[in-house]
Amino acid sequence: MRNLSYSPKIAQGMTDDDQEVLESGRPKLNIVEQYESASGIRWVQTDKVPICDKNGITVGLVGFAQDITERKQAEEALRKSEAILNETGFIARIGGWEHDLVSGQATWTKALYDIDELESGTPPGPNEHLDYYPPRDRAILARAYQRAAETGEPFDLELQVYTAKKRLIWGRVIGRPIMQGGKCIRMVGTFQDITDRKRAEQERERLFQEVQSAHGQLQTLSRHLMDAQENERRQIARELHDEIGQVLTAIKTNLQAIQLAPEPATLQARLEESGTIVDHALEQIRTLALDLRPSLLDDFGLESALEWYLARQGRRAGFVAEFSAALPETRLPSALESTCFRVVQAAVTNAERYAHATKVQVLLRAIAPIESDGITKLELVVRDDGVGFDVSTAMERSMRGASLGLVGMQERVRLAGGEITIESVHGQGTEIRAQFPLSTA
């Protein structure tokens, strides 16, 4: 101890300790002090014991000093390791735990208290902490814990658990049994908060399902589009063959008859008949062209085209058509006009064929922007008083390829940047409502 250098404060403390032992006659133990030496800072633990004569009077003291520098350095290294462990635990949201199955005591790291939103202190024991888990997860963990204690095999689970503040989180629970003489004496493990990861996985799964669904819809639409194109071509070919072909054949027959008939009366009758046939052919061609795409849509816009279409379909199918529009002064974009016209066309076709509607209402209007988005919108509403249907069932049938109508409407609206809702009640009719962004205020 000769190589130790004592600061004035330490030296005075040593003198005070000596004086206290001499005056009180009681020993002073485990005095830990820090000194400077040639090799650096050293730690020394000192015990001071009084020396008494045969009458019990203190006549001196004896001291025992031990260099505990290595122990102190080890304790400091352990403290730093624990601090790093706790800090990394907070960052990674992972805590450690230990259950002593002999004493029944439990030990948690600070990070685990933080994850569990529990005040530091005595952690709950194994059985008590099981109550934090929902019934299904509780049963899974209890079986895994019991099996590990019996077999010595570790477990690794992902479960839901309630914190002390009743917040439901996801956790990865890993446990490893410590066996002695074939019996589990301790269970040690970790608990990691994986709530964010689970949410990300769920969101990824949701997006994947949406992509899968959209892919399925796209395949269905593509298949229906090809079928629709073939049906349209077949219908046009049939119209040309049955109607226009017959008309041209009749005109040809009349022209041949005119060549062979010298009488003026016969000639006049044939010419009049040919004129009537030509008029009929023109009407057939005009109807065919309008069914494909009404020229009113291109020449005069959506409002005029819908007014004409609803009046025409009402007369054909025998339902009452009501139409109202309140549109901006500037004409709508051509693509948006086409989308709205086709949505109305599909809705009216469904009302005619399946709903047996006696009344169809179409509302077309611009909606002023609201504070939340500041966007002017175009709203299209089609209502009928038909028999109604189950929307989810109809959508499933449409997705399986039974028909193009509902899925086709949804896809048209989506491609135009809009949103569509379809509501229907058996016996109370159907309402289709679509909204499209027009401009930002």
Q: Verify that 322 and 408 share a domain, yes or no.
A: yes
Q: Verify that 177 and 303 share a domain, yes or no.
A: no
Q: Is the pLDDT of residue 363 over 90?
A: yes
Q: Verify that 249 and 112 share a domain, yes or no.
A: no
Higher pLDDT pick, 440 / 39: 39
Domains: count for the chain: 4
Q: State the pLDDT at residue 375.
A: 81
Q: State the pLDDT at residue 402.
A: 56
Lowest mean pLDDT of 51-65, 310-324, 336-350, name the range. 51-65
Q: Verify that 307 and 433 share a domain, yes or no.
A: yes
Which tens digit of pLDDT belongs to each residue from 184-193?
A: 999 999 999 9
The burial of 192, by beta-carbon neighbours within 10 Å (0-12 exposed, 13-18 middle, 19 or more buried), is given as: buried
Q: State the pLDDT at residue 86.
A: 66
CA distances in angstroms from 402 to 56, 67, 232, 420, listed in the order given: 110, 90, 18, 20
Residue that is written with structure tokens 């002695």 in the block: 180
CA distances in angstroms from 160 to 130, 131, 135, 168, 175, listed in the order given: 11, 12, 10, 7, 16
In a domain, 152, yes or no: yes
User: What single string gives the DSSP state of each residue in 406-431?
Assistant: HHHHHHHHHHTT-EEEEEEETTTEEE
DSSP letter, residue 371 = T
Long-range CB contacts (< 8 A, 24+ apart) of 37-40? 37/3, 37/4, 37/5, 38/3
Higher pLDDT pick, 46 / 405: 46
Angle, nearest 10°, between helix axes 195-239 and 391-399?
70
In a domain, 266, yes or no: yes
In a domain, 1, yes or no: no
Please state, for a pLDDT cut of 70, what percent of the chain lies above it.
82
Q: Is the pLDDT of residue 258 over 80?
A: no
Q: Verify that 309 and 381 share a domain, yes or no.
A: yes
Q: Domain range for residue 181?
A: 89-193
Q: State the pLDDT at residue 2.
A: 45
In a domain, 303, yes or no: yes
Higher pLDDT pick, 365 / 232: 365
Domain boundary among 257, 292, 327: 292
Q: Is the pLDDT of residue 285 over 90?
A: no
Q: Verify that 320 and 433 share a domain, yes or no.
A: yes
Q: Verify that 300 and 285 share a domain, yes or no.
A: no
Q: Is the pLDDT of residue 162 over 50?
A: yes
CATH number of the domain residue 42 falls in: 3.30.450.20
Mean pLDDT value of segment 407-414: 84
Domain boundary among 263, 292, 321: 292
Q: State the pLDDT at residue 256.
A: 72
Which tens digit of pLDDT belongs to each residue from 294-340?
A: 778 888 999 999 999 999 999 989 999 999 999 988 899 988 998 99
**Average pLDDT over all residues of the chain:** 82
CB 95 within 8 A of CB 89: yes
